[in-house]
Amino acid sequence: MSEKDVKNLEEIFEARIARDEKIEPKDWMPEKYRQTHIRQISQHAHSEIIGMLPEGNWITRAPSLRRKAALLAKVQDEAGHGLYLYSACETLGISRDELYEQLHSGKAKYSSIFNYPTITWADMGAIGWLVDGAAIINQVPLCNTSFGPYARAMVRVCKEESFHQRQGYEIMLTLCRGTEEQKAMAQDALNRWWWPSLMMFGPTDAESVHTEQSMKWKLKRKSNDELRQQFIDQTVPQADLLGITIPDPDLKWNEEKGQYDFGEIDWDEFWQVVKGHGPCNKERMNARVNAWNNGEWVRDAAMAYAEKNEKRKVAKAS
């Protein structure tokens, strides 16, 4: 294909997206569109899979059978969400093994929030309430993104995610209505998870390198700062209802703007964690790589069994 042909195809492609047409896997697409989508969808899938680890930590120690069943279901959902997203990503011509390899080698990233430790039961509440709350705000606009398989996966994910946030808030509510000690535990969890949750929306608009292109491809429909503001505005009243305090002395209602003003985010911390120096980066990656390596014999045995059965079937038929 000549350069002119490619340019022509690119124009047709951009026009289709501008008309809100969806792009399907076998359609022609610019290489950059493909690569950007592989990067974002796989990062999203990895986040779901790594996101199982901090919560998996509390399944055996959940305070009641009701809480245990709910947490187990939530973690299982996250495995499911990872699978929807890996499948969507594979339609772009990359194999599951390559995707895992990128995660395990550190080439691909996952959401930094999962590199923080879950040290008390209240963290299960704070994660559901704040982390899933932030994830929902990030994900809802993606249900309309231009790449069909990603949009369809996101519709399923968003439908299931709302239970996650509600079960988290219910845990917080129970703790806040409990003893002084339990309420203090909820406050402590909010103190530790608040700022990392705000960082989930990514760098400020001024610093964000991918925003412009992603907006054009409808891979992003609102900017990082807009989404972060939306999260703060909807979460502050929820903290008030719990009777606990958001750990930001600069947080106050701005009557004129009709939104909350908030304090400076510690971006050094954000970049440290992204670069692998968070409290649990090594632990998460080790757990993931070990699970994969230690499960290899099971995957091989299943394949050997399937092949043996297949051969038997062929032998019988002939």
Taking the least distance from each CB to another protein, the nearer of 43 and 87 is: 87
Segment contacting another protein by CB under 8 A, of 58-66, 188-196, 213-221, 306-314? 306-314
C-alpha span between 27 and 114 (Å, rounded): 35
- Beta bridge partner(s), residue 147: 23
C-alpha span between 61 and 22 (Å, rounded): 45
Q: How many CB atoms lie within 10 A of CB 61?
A: 11
Taking the least distance from each CB to another protein, the nearer of 96 and 282 is: 96
Residues 6+ positions from 288 with CB-CB distance below 8 Å: 49, 50, 53, 103, 104
Confirm or reject binding of residue 21 to another protein (CB under 8 A).
no
Strands (DSSP E) contained in the chain are 252-254, 259-261
C-alpha span between 220 and 210 (Å, rounded): 10
Confirm or reject binding of residue 48 to another protein (CB under 8 A).
no
Taking the least distance from each CB to another protein, the nearer of 177 and 299 is: 299
Q: Are strands 259-261 and 252-254 parallel, antiparallel or unpaired?
A: antiparallel
Taking the least distance from each CB to another protein, the nearer of 156 and 222 is: 156
Angle, CA 242 vertex, CA 189 and CA 128 arms, to 5°: 50
Least Cα distance to 228 among 253, 251, 203 occurs for 203
Confirm or reject binding of residue 10 to another protein (CB under 8 A).
no
Sole binder of another protein in the list 56, 80, 141, 263 (CB under 8 A) = 80
Taking the least distance from each CB to another protein, the nearer of 99 and 135 is: 99
C-alpha span between 245 and 239 (Å, rounded): 7
Taking the least distance from each CB to another protein, the nearer of 82 and 128 is: 82
Confirm or reject binding of residue 152 to another protein (CB under 8 A).
yes
Amino acid identity of 224? N
Exposure string over 121-135, b if 16+ CB within 10 A, otherwise e: bbbbbbbbbbbbbbb
Confirm or reject binding of residue 300 to another protein (CB under 8 A).
yes
Taking the least distance from each CB to another protein, the nearer of 73 and 215 is: 73
Taking the least distance from each CB to another protein, the nearer of 66 and 311 is: 311
Give min distance, CB of 316 to another protein, in A.
16
Confirm or reject binding of residue 271 to another protein (CB under 8 A).
no
Confirm or reject binding of residue 8 to another protein (CB under 8 A).
no
Confirm or reject binding of residue 253 to another protein (CB under 8 A).
no
Residues 6+ positions from 207 with CB-CB distance below 8 Å: 267
With contacts defined by CB under 8 A, how many residues of the chain interact with another protein?
28
Give min distance, CB of 171 to another protein, in A.
21
Sole binder of another protein in the list 7, 26, 107, 316 (CB under 8 A) = 26
Confirm or reject binding of residue 215 to another protein (CB under 8 A).
no
C-alpha span between 23 and 129 (Å, rounded): 34
Confirm or reject binding of residue 11 to another protein (CB under 8 A).
no
The encoded tokens of residue 136 equal 């929902």
Segment contacting another protein by CB under 8 A, of 42-50, 72-80, 215-223, 274-282? 72-80
Taking the least distance from each CB to another protein, the nearer of 44 and 183 is: 44
Summarize as ranges the residues that interact with another protein (CB under 8 A): 24, 26-28, 73, 76-77, 80, 83-84, 87-88, 90, 95-97, 152-153, 160, 299-300, 302-303, 305-307, 309-310
